[in-house]
Amino acid sequence: MLQDPILEIINLKKVFHKTEAVKDVSFSVRKGTCFGLLGPNGAGKTTTLEVIEDILPKTSGRILYRGQERNSSFREEIGIQFQHTSLLNFLSVKETLQTFHKLFHNPVDLDELIERCDLQPLLNRMNNKLSGGQQQRLMVALALINRPELIFFDEPSTGLDPQARRNLWAIIERIKDEGKTLILTTHSMEEAEFLCDEIAIMDGGTIIAQGSPNALISTYCNGSTIILPRYAFGTDLNDIPFTWRIREDTIEIDTDNIHAGLTRMLNLDIDLSKMLVRSGNLEDVFLHLTGKQLRD
């Protein structure tokens, strides 16, 4: 049974002077899920989130939290992990946690939070001595300190090495397993595919596609590419009954049915021992919908 939405965005608009940054955006986020908002630079996703978080005022539209218009308690009931936040350099991690802990009426148990975010070895370290991954774990802890049910993550793994990124994803996964609702912005398609249950892709201030990662891939990139070295072909390339192209010393063959494609190539006596198969992924969907042109 589907959960009721914890957050509903209805015909949201945001205008800066005469520039319409967010144009009639609508979506809902079900309780206990991770919702991803993706888009190229300038697409309007950050502005959309800042309006939802009550950092910026909306121009028009409605934002419903638990079925009601946001009230004065909304900010205290949500958690926000900002991509860039300045922490006081003369405080340690422990002192920072204790300071934020005192700001809320019903904060989480600090020992539990420290364990959840793997901060125990860092408690006596000064904030300006933290690595990128360590600082992100601290920022996640600060976002959780007020027991929020709805948590916003803004580019949580930007600049992290693969090990630190996977560690952070594991922390976010555990938060999600506790029934929390997450809203995520990211430029990492791998991150979105790994963490998100539902994704909305924005461009030009509007949502241009929405669905689960698998549904989006199936709709916009339903097919596979078989990659083989040029020397694997003892047959004339024109005999291949699929779309193909030469990429340096390899041949790329597109097929909508990987089983049928491999069967046909075996019948043509093509050597498949060095074969690579690349299926469509979320990055392919993103580029298909938003284009490959570099955005400022």
The reply to whether 96 and 146 lie within a common domain is: yes
The reply to whether 79 and 152 lie within a common domain is: yes
The reply to whether 41 and 87 lie within a common domain is: yes
In a domain, 127, yes or no: yes
The reply to whether 116 and 253 lie within a common domain is: no
User: Model-level pTM?
Assistant: 0.84
| Residue 37, beta-bridge partner list | 185, 200
| Residue 244, beta-bridge partner list | 253
The reply to whether 213 and 149 lie within a common domain is: yes
The reply to whether 211 and 266 lie within a common domain is: no
Q: Domain of 47: which CATH number?
A: 3.40.50.300
The count of domains in the chain is: 2
The reply to whether 129 and 171 lie within a common domain is: yes
The reply to whether 60 and 85 lie within a common domain is: yes
Supply the pLDDT for residue 218.
Answer: 87
The pLDDT-based confidence of 37 (bands split at 50, 70, 90) is very high
In a domain, 227, yes or no: yes
- Residues of the domain holding 272: 223-279
The pLDDT-based confidence of 2 (bands split at 50, 70, 90) is low
Evaluate if residue 249 carries a pLDDT over 80: yes
In a domain, 292, yes or no: no
Cβ distance 172 to 182 under 8 Å?
Answer: yes
Nearest to 139 by CA among 117, 108, 158: 117
Residue 72: partners with Cβ closer than 8 Å, 6 or more residues away: none
Average pLDDT over residues 187-214: 94
In a domain, 104, yes or no: yes
Average pLDDT over residues 171-187: 92
The reply to whether 181 and 255 lie within a common domain is: no
In a domain, 16, yes or no: yes
In a domain, 291, yes or no: no
Average pLDDT over residues 67-93: 85
- Output 201 or 295, whichever has higher pLDDT: 201
Evaluate if residue 154 carries a pLDDT over 80: yes
The reply to whether 24 and 58 lie within a common domain is: yes
The reply to whether 177 and 228 lie within a common domain is: no
Supply the pLDDT for residue 64.
Answer: 96
